[in-house]
Amino acid sequence: MNQSIPLAELMPGENGVIARLKVDEALYQRLTAMGLRVGRPICVIRRAAMSGPIQVRVGLTDLILRRADALNICISPA
């Protein structure tokens, strides 16, 4: 069984599959509305310096996530 890691730990160019969203209900609704759902592949495009936001790609959509939120999105290695 693959162990999941926080999305914030992936480096640019690394891929994974969303395994779990450990967020409150309001953020869960926003993330799923943007396409971040369990089982979807995700790729880190770039990371800002100094604990800044992370740009990810889910399907054909690019999103910018706060690092604090990315720490609560669990990813299984692809």
Interval 34-67: pLDDT, tens: 999 999 999 999 999 988 999 999 999 999 999 9
Instruction: Note the pLDDT of residue 20.
Output: 96
Whole-number Å distance between alpha carbons of 25 and 78: 27
Check: CB of residue 7 under 8 Å from CB of residue 54.
yes
Report the top-level CATH class of 5-77: mainly beta
Instruction: Note the pLDDT of residue 2.
Output: 60
Whole-number Å distance between alpha carbons of 17 and 42: 6
Q: Is the pLDDT of residue 1 over 60?
A: no
